[in-house]
Chains A and B, each alone.
Chain A
Amino acid sequence: MTMDSPRMIRAWQVAFIALGVLLLGLGGLVLLDVVKPERYPGILLWLGGAIILHDLIIAPLVFGVGLLMRRASKRIPLGVLMIVQGAILVGAVTSLIVLPQVLGKERVSARNETVLPLDYAGNLVLFYVVLAALTALAIVVYLRVLAKRQNTRPSRSQT
């Protein structure tokens, strides 16, 4: 890729932005064409709601948890902290995907029993258990490797 020259970058920038503006116009036209105007407030509500939900609720929450854990990191090895933090994030993202199924199952399955046919709440608990077990295993392995490394090279700090 010959992206290194500023002139080339400038040209590509203009091309991308022009494409974007064009697509935006197209998107607007499609919206006007296929969605009735009385539905626009609903779409705007969801677009605004997505920003508020993420930026004011989810992100500060994740940031807060991360902050607390980083404060705790004086005592806990960084690697262990990251494994735990990672596991919490994996659990949280999965919960985000699965919770609508747990909440919606009854209503949806009453209409059509082949939609949401599984025991999502039970499976989520199973997922948490497996996740916790794998996390514990990862921590044990990590600490063993760390100890071995520090035995052989005691001068090096943990990374």
Chain B
Amino acid sequence: MATVLGRLLGIAFLACFVTGILSHYLQEPLQWMVFATRPVWLYQISQAIHITAGILCFPLILGKLHVIYPSLFQTPPVRSIGHFLERGSIALLVAASLVQITIGLLNTYQLYFLFPFPFRQTHWALSFVVMAALAIHIGVKLPIIARYWRKKDSYDDDGTVIPLDDATDRSQNPERPEGATIPDLREPETTGVTGRLFRWIDRAPLADVSAGQARTSRRGFLATIGVAATALFVTTGGQSFRALDATNLFGPRKQGVGPNALPVNRTAQAAGVEESAMAPDWTLTVSNGETSRVFTRAELEALPQFEVDLPIACVEGWSQVASWKGPRMKDLADAVGAPVSAAFRATSLEQKGNYAVMEMGPEYVRDELTLVALELNGAPLDIQHGYPARMIAPARPGVLQTKWLSTLEVIA
């Protein structure tokens, strides 16, 4: 059973890790990196998978820990250096995984003031620790995993789980050199008070447990984990999947809730732009070395306007498709004679914050869908969504869709 749950958990961890790496490098690209701008929902789906799989890890990991809980009390606690390292790696795996999914969840609730450490950096570093401890764990347990991988090898004719020592005997390879010993993979029986307690628990009420009952019990447990995972998916998935909006009971975001019918990640108050964004003399400066053009909002409105439907997809996992209108980024780039291969740096009115300055590769600058948006869902941008002007590009994290734009400059 631990194999069954472990397998699902492994898949969920891997999904989180891969989508997490994508999200990380989108935000902090290495010099040589170029990103796909299609499909436009690439980041939306990637981050939805990240957060959904992360939430589903809760029932899976709790179920898995429940199954293996008795082996926490094995005696003697440490049998050898190898055994000590193995137990240490499991402790690290359990601790790092629990912290990883917990801080991930709390971050989507914007409860990050609870952490005595920076979220993004810690989440990033811990992701390697989790995958490392997981790889070690899989390595150590591989004989057991391989043994119980397929259902038909795991049960005898009555549906009873075949104990591991029989299993090892059966899978003996005839080519094995003479005299090689089969390592005893069984956990030693727990002794002492806890051992007696566990035997009492196991014996007392279910002394006459039949194979069928044990099977029912196993299936019932897996069904419970399945129901819990489904319930969480149905009640939280609505924050990123439109189809689940009606059953969105526990999503930290609700589609359509917010100014311009769209949720907000960072508010104008938090960014400290309430005055500067509303200033009547606001302008957007676009520059390419010595060449530079200054646009008022009216002048931006006078440029050819385009309307695009693009999702805004937050690193926190929620996303929503919205309708944006404004001039194309590439037209502004052309207005200052920027070369086709030029990358741009966008600066926000925001004085402090990690995303006040954003860099954008030519794949986004030259994309026809990338706009300097002035309107959102049929109305002028709300200040919470970046009035007077904000960037919107396909397949990028929301934190890079810079709001309250002040300057756009070619990166030399």
Contacts and interface: CB of A to CB of B under 8 A. Distances in A.
B254 A117 contact: yes
A21 B216 CA distance: 39
Contact of B135 (A16, A78, A94, A116): A16
B132 A27 contact: yes
Given A39-B116, A114-B263, A159-B216, A101 B69 contact: no
A105 to B, nearest CB: 9
B32 interface: no
Contacts of B205: 70-74
B121 A93 contact: no
Interface string B251-270: 11110011000011111011
Contacts of A150: none
Contacts of B128: 23-24, 26-27, 30
B175 A43 contact: no
Interface in B199-238: 201, 204-206, 210, 212-213, 215-217, 220-221, 223-224, 227-228, 231-232, 235-236
Contact of B263 (A35, A39, A115): A115
Interface residues of B, number: 89
A144 interface: no
B17 to A, nearest CB: 10
Contacts of B131: 23, 27
A27 B136 CA distance: 14
B118 interface: yes
Contacts of B33: none
Contact of A13 (B62, B121, B140, B232): B140
A98 B249 CA distance: 10
B91 A51 contact: yes
B95 A51 contact: yes
A50 B126 CA distance: 14
Interface residues of A, dominant DSSP: helix
Interface in A64-115: 67, 70-74, 78-79, 82-83, 85-86, 89-90, 93-94, 96-98, 100-101, 104, 108, 111-115
Contacts, number: 246
A85 B223 CA distance: 11
Interface in B170-205: 171-173, 175-176, 201, 204-205
B139 A35 contact: no
A39 B103 CA distance: 15
Interface string B59-76: 100100110010010000
B270 A94 contact: no
A1 interface: yes
B338 interface: no
B55 interface: yes
Contacts of A72: 205
B370 interface: no
B121 A34 contact: yes
A86 B111 contact: no
A4 B65 contact: no
A54 interface: yes
Contact of A50 (B94, B106, B137): B94
A43 B122 contact: yes
A108 to B, nearest CB: 5
B228 A126 contact: no
A104 B173 contact: no
Contacts of A43: 99, 116-117, 122, 126
B105 interface: yes
Given A19-B135, A97-B236, A90 B117 contact: no
Contacts of B265: 112
Contact of B125 (A30, A71, A101, A116): A30
B110 A24 contact: no
B378 interface: no
A143 to B, nearest CB: 15
Contacts of A112: 110, 264-267, 270
A70 B143 contact: no
B270 A111 contact: yes
Contacts of B258: 113-114
A57 interface: no
A159 B204 CA distance: 19
Contacts of B55: 97
Given A9-B143, A39-B117, A100-B111, A23 B135 contact: yes
Enumerate the 5 nearest inter-chain pairs by beta-carbon distance, A residue then B residue, closest first. Answer: A42-B116, A16-B139, A27-B128, A20-B136, A23-B132
Given A16-B136, A116-B109, A123-B235, 20 more contacts: A1-B149, A6-B171, A9-B146, A15-B139, A17-B135, A20-B135, A20-B139, A26-B128, A27-B125, A35-B125, A39-B117, A43-B116, A46-B117, A55-B72, A70-B205, A78-B217, A79-B220, A82-B221, A115-B253, A131-B231
23 contacts: A6-B171, A7-B175, A9-B143, A16-B136, A17-B140, A20-B135, A21-B132, A27-B131, A35-B117, A43-B99, A47-B99, A59-B65, A59-B66, A63-B66, A73-B205, A73-B206, A82-B217, A85-B220, A86-B224, A94-B228, A111-B270, A112-B265, A123-B235
